[in-house]
Structure 1
Amino acid sequence: MKKAKDKNTESKILEAAKSVFQTKGMDGARMQEIADKAGINKAMLHYYFRGKQLLFEAVFKNAFSLLSPQLNTILNDESSIEDKIKNFTNNYISFITKHPYLPNFIFQELNRNPEFISKIQKSIGFPSIEKFKKQLNIEIEKGILIPIKAEQLFINILALNIFPFIASPLIKAITNTDNNSYEQLIEDRKIEVSTFIINSIKQK
């Protein structure tokens, strides 16, 4: 019974911390605010997490663990490059629509503390493009795709899928788009992005 209660308390702390870190970042977050939001005292918070950095790392790892399998599954399956692009775009947009805080949260903090990625990189299931690279080279050799580096193609896929979520206020303002219309715009990108990328790399 005690174990279940402890786990529940830890979950409440991580959820509260996620909310505070999202809005205020690592530097602006305060342990007392996190404790208040979790409904516990500060001593209890320090019992579970000895400091703000350790708490932040736990929140970050939880956030990244939601996104990482989405990348890894698609990069390492047996589908063609064309299908990988379609599946990645569809799955990523669907996933981030349900977790819209993730891109900003992850990339802002990686920019703030770039060394932290070395810790994450050692975790099991960290995405790798090695299989993607081999498949791409095979399809290039077969004349299916034009020559392009795997790294460049992967950056193109990431950028076109991630940017609308990171820059949504700017895009809405420039395009004069309301929230409902923007949601449809994002949904349409599942096809628009994959079609654009595939057409750019297929042999004519």
Structure 2
Amino acid sequence: MNSKKTQTSAETDILEAAKRIFQLKGMEGARMQEIADEAGINKALLHYYYRSKQLLFEAVFKNAFMLLAPQLNKVLNDDSSLFDKITNFSHNYISFVVKHPYLPNFIIQELNRNPEFILKLTSDKHFPSIGKFKKQVEENVVAKIIRPIKPEQLFINLFALNIFPFIASPLLKGFLGINNCDFNDLIEERKTEVASFIINAIKV
């Protein structure tokens, strides 16, 4: 029992240390020795749990994403109205990324560097489905609640408007001439701003 508990604790420490190093230096810049030092273990023990930096990176990525996936899946497939769904998606996504700011850049890194891993991730049974969301959009168009729009385009708009500020944060701070504190305030406002913008754009 104690051995199993220690093993779980060690693995958690490794993942947390790796998350901090990857966030700071990215996949290419991170070193296994740095991660071992950050976790307070030797490099041999790190390699016992994760044979390569790639496997460790994938574990950190999947661990974080699988915290978000159930939330998004629930929002996209519950029985709320389309407008509530758009509002809840923005609020949940932004709240999550504020707590895990490295995740959007992880996704971009992996899309460019290792598309096979992304394919593996999307084939996971827990990966969010937008089937119900698409059906709701189509029904709302027919009922003339919203203007004609393809569900896929609406989802891309929703996703892009929520994710872009996190990916481009240094550039946006420069354009807007604001500091981290001001930027965080803007991000907090976007929990409702994005949804309001989209809903006002599509409603009849």
State the TM bucket, normalised to the shorter chain.
over 0.9
- Paired position in structure 2 for 1:2: 3
For 1:191, the equivalent position in structure 2 comes to 192
Give the drift of 1:106.
2.2
Change in Cα spacing, 1:180 to 1:23, as seen in structure 2 (3 Å) is closer
Alignment match, 1:72: 73
How far 1:36 sits from its partner (Å)?
Answer: 1.6
Kindly indicate whether the alpha-carbon contact (under 8 Å) linking 1:72 and 1:126 is maintained by their aligned counterparts in 2: yes
Q: Which moved more, 1:93-102 or 1:161-170?
A: 93-102
Which residue matches 2:109? 108
8 Å contact kept, 1:89–1:190: yes
Q: Which runs of 5+ in 1 are unaligned?
A: none
TM-score scaled by structure 2? 0.93
Rounded to whole Å, the distance in 2 between the matches of 1:97 and 1:26 is: 20
> CA offsets, 1:123-147, max 9 Å, x none?
2310111111111111111111111
| 2:23 alignment partner AA | Q
Q: Distance in 1 between matches of 2:97 and 2:148?
A: 30
Q: Secondary structure at the match of 2:80?
A: coil
- The one-character-per-residue Cα deviations of 1:86-133 (angstroms, maximum 9, x if unpaired) are 111122222222222221222222222112111112223101111111
Give deviations 1:65-103, integer Å, cap 9, x for gaps. 122123211111111111111111122222222222221
Find the counterpart in structure 2 of residue 82 from structure 1.
83
CA distance in 2, matches of 1:18, 1:180: 23
Q: CA deviation at 1:28?
A: 2.5
Q: Distance in 1 between matches of 2:70 and 2:198?
A: 22
2:39 aligned with 1:38, yes or no? yes
Q: Could you report, residue by residue, the CA deviation over 1:31-77 in whole angstroms, capped at 9, with x for unpaired residues?
A: 22221221111211111112222212111111211221232111111
- SS of alignment partner, residue 115 of structure 2: coil
Whole-angstrom CA distance in 2 between matches of 1:142 and 1:4:
55
Equivalent in the alignment of 2:50: 49
TM-aligned CA deviation for residue 24 of structure 1: 2.5
Q: Distance in 2 between matches of 1:45 and 1:188?
A: 40
The answer as to 2:182 corresponding to 1:181 is: yes
Give CA-to-partner distance per residue, 1:124-175, whole Å, 9 cap, x none.
3101111111111111111111111111101100111111111111111111
Structure 2: runs of 5+ lacking an equivalent: none
1:27, distance to aligned residue in structure 2 (A): 2.5
The verdict on how the C-alpha distance between 1:29 and 1:182 changes in structure 2, with shifts beyond 3 A counting, is closer
1:160 and 2:161 correspond: yes
Separation of aligned partners in 2, 1:115 and 1:191: 34
Q: Residue type matched to 1:121 in 2?
A: T
Residue 190 of structure 1 aligns to a residue whose secondary structure is helix
